[in-house]
C-alpha cells in the first residue's frame, strides 16, 4: 500500500513529505494504524545529532495516535479493527525488565526504539523507488498517514476522546508525568524543582500540581515560566542569582525531588545543590558532554538517576493521565499546536525557536 510520510533523508536537510510503500500486511502481533495525530518530541529532532547511530533515510515520529485498520491477530488480539489507540515506545516483552513490568528499561530498548528498529529482509517499508527506509522508529514511525506497529505498544482509548491530541501521551507527557507519579511517587508534603519547562518539564509540573506537590520551575524563557505558573508552579528565571539558595528557600530547606530536562552539566549541579538531604534528581535528557559533579553535591544521601519514559507501563499510565485530563487536572491539550503533515519543517523550526511546546502533526 502507498501513503504519504515525512521522510528524513539526511541529518542536515529538512524532512521531505513523499509517497512511501508498505510491502506487507500486519504479521501476527502487529496492527496497522491510520494515524490521526502524531506529536513531535525532542528525541525525534535529536536524530540529527545522533552521529549516524540512528540510520537514515527514516520515518521518525513516536507519539502517534490513530485508528486500527487491520490486525495480524495473535497474543495481543485484544486490539481490533476500529479501535482508537495511542502508540507508545517499543519493548521486547520477554527480557527480565519487561517481565518485571519495567518495559522502558527493556534490554533491547536502544536497538528497538532508537538505533534502527527490527531489521527486515526484504524491507517492508520503502520509498517510492523501492529503497529501504529504516523500519519503525520507536516501533511506529508515525510521521505518516499509516504506521505498522507491534500491538503491545498500542493502548486502546475511548473513541469519544479527541484522538488527534492524544499521541504525546505516548512519550513526552508520559515522561514528565511518570517521573513525578511513578519514579518519585510524589504526593502532598513533597517538594519538586523542574529545570527546563518544556514538554517534559511542564507535564511534570501539571502532574505534580495534580498530586499536591509544591513545585518550582526554572527556565530561560519568560513564556515557558508563565505556562509553568499557570499550571501551579512557582516560576524562577534561570538567570536568577544564586538559584539553588532561592529554591532551598522556596522549598523549606531544599526540594525532595528535582527533574532535569536540559542535559546541561552546570544546571545539573545547581539541581543537586537545590536538593534537601536524601533528595533525588532525575535526568531525562541525553548528555552530550561529560558530567562533572561539584564536591559535596551528592553528600547526605542525595542521589541521581536517569529516568526513561517516566518509568511507565503505557497501558497503565496513559489511561491514568487521560482520567486526570478529564477531571481538569492535567490540561496537556494547552501545550499543543497542530500542523498539517506538510508543515513538519515549520513545526521543527517553531520547536527549535521555543515558539511551540508540543507540535502535533495531522497526517
Question: Using CB under 6 A as the criterion, which residues of the chain lie in contact with ligand NAD when the complex forms?
Answer: 41-43, 46, 171-172, 175, 195-201, 218-221, 224, 238, 261-264, 267, 284-285, 307-309, 354, 357
Q: Footprint of Zn ion on residues 91-110 (CB under 5 A)?
A: 91-92, 95, 98, 106
* All three cell numbers of 238: 534561570
How far, in Å, CA of 50 to CA of 159, rounded?
A: 37
Contact between 43 and 171 under an 8 Å Cβ cutoff? The reply is: yes
Chosen from ligand NAD, Zn ion, none, partner binding at 219 (C-beta under 5 to 8 Å by type): ligand NAD
The least CB distance from residue 93 to Zn ion, in Å, is: 6
Exposure of 107 by Cβ count < 10 A (0-12 exposed, 13-18 middle, 19+ buried)?
A: middle
How far, in Å, CA of 192 to CA of 179, rounded?
A: 11
Chosen from Zn ion, ligand NAD, none, partner binding at 106 (C-beta under 5 to 8 Å by type): Zn ion
Residue number with CB closer to Zn ion (198 or 254): 198
Q: Is the dihedral of CA 88, 92, 98, 104 positive or negative?
A: negative
Query: Residue 13: what are its φ and ψ, rounded to 5°?
Result: -95, 165
- Give the CA dihedral 97, 101, 104, 108, nearest 10 degrees: 40
Chosen from ligand NAD, Zn ion, none, partner binding at 95 (C-beta under 5 to 8 Å by type): Zn ion
Choice from 22, 133, 169, 171 touching Zn ion (CB under 5 A):
171
How far, in Å, CA of 179 to CA of 248, rounded?
A: 21
The least CB distance from residue 310 to ligand NAD, in Å, is: 7
Chosen from ligand NAD, Zn ion, none, partner binding at 199 (C-beta under 5 to 8 Å by type): ligand NAD
The least CB distance from residue 306 to ligand NAD, in Å, is: 7
Per-residue x/- track, 28-67, Zn ion (CB under 5 A): -------------x-x------------------------
* All three cell numbers of 218: 526554572
How far, in Å, CA of 309 to CA of 254, rounded?
A: 26
How far, in Å, CA of 35 to CA of 362, rounded?
A: 8
Chosen from Zn ion, ligand NAD, none, partner binding at 203 (C-beta under 5 to 8 Å by type): none
Region near Zn ion per CB under 5 A, out of 151-159, 163-171, 176-184, 241-249 = 163-171
Binding site for Zn ion (CB under 5 A): 41, 43, 91-92, 95, 98, 106, 171
Amino acid at each position: 500500500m502507498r501513503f504519504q510520510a515525512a521522510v528524513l533523508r539526511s541529518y542536515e536537510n529538512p524532512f521531505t513529505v513523499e509517497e512511501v510503500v508498505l510491502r506487507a500486511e500486519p504479521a501476527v502481533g502487529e496492527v496497522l494504524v491510520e494515524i490521526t495525530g502524531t506529536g513531535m518530541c525532542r528525541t525525534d529532532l535529536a536524530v540529527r545529532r545522533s552521529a549516524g547511530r540512528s540510520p537514515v533515510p527514516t520515518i521518525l515520529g513516536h507519539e502517534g495516535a490513530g485508528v486500527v485498520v487491520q490486525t495480524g491477530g495473535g497474543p495481543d488480539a485484544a486490539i481490533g479493527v476500529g479501535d482508537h489507540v495511542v502508540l507508545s515506545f517499543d519493548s521486547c516483552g520477554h527480557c527480565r525488565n519487561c517481565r518485571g513490568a519495567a518495559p522502558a528499561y527493556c534490554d533491547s530498548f536502544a536497538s528497538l526504539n532508537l538505533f534502527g528498529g527490527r531489521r527486515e529482509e526484504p524491507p517492508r517499508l520503502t520509498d517510492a523507488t523501492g529503497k529501504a527506509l529504516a523500519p519503525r522508529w520507536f516501533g511506529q514511525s508515525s510521521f505518516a498517514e499509516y504506521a505498522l506497529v507491534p500491538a503491545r505498544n498500542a493502548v486502546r482509548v475511548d473513541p469519544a476522546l479527541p484522538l488527534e491530541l492524544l499521541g504525546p501521551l505516548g512519550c513526552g507527557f508520559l515522561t514528565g508525568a511518570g517521573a513525578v507519579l511513578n519514579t518519585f511517587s510524589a504526593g502532598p508534603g513533597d517538594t519538586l524543582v523542574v529545570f527546563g519547562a518544556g514538554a517534559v518539564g511542564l507535564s511534570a509540573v501539571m502532574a505534580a500540581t495534580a498530586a499536591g506537590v509544591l513545585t518550582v520551575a526554572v527556565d530561560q524563557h519568560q513564556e515557558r515560566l508563565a505556562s509553568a505558573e499557570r499550571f501551579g508552579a512557582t516560576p524562577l528565571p534561570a538567570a536568577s542569582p544564586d538559584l539553588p539558595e532561592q529554591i532551598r528557600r522556596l522549598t523549606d530547606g531544599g526540594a525532595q525531588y528535582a527533574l532535569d530536562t536540559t542535559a546541561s552539566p552546570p544546571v545539573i549541579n545547581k539541581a543537586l545543590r537545590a536538593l534537601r538531604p536524601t533528595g533525588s534528581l532525575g535526568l531525562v535528557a541525553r548528555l552530550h558532554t561529560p558530567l562533572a559533579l561539584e564536591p559535596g553535591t551528592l553528600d547526605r544521601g542525595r542521589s541521581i538517576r536517569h529516568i526513561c519514559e517516566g518509568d511507565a507501563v503505557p497501558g497503565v499510565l496513559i489511561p491514568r493521565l487521560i482520567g486526570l485530563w478529564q477531571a481538569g487536572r492535567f490540561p496537556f491539550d494547552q501545550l499543543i499546536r497542530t500542523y498539517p503533515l506538510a508543515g513538519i519543517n515549520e513545526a521543527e523550526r517553531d520547536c527549535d525557536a521555543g515558539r511551540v511546546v508540543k507540535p502535533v502533526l495531522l497526517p
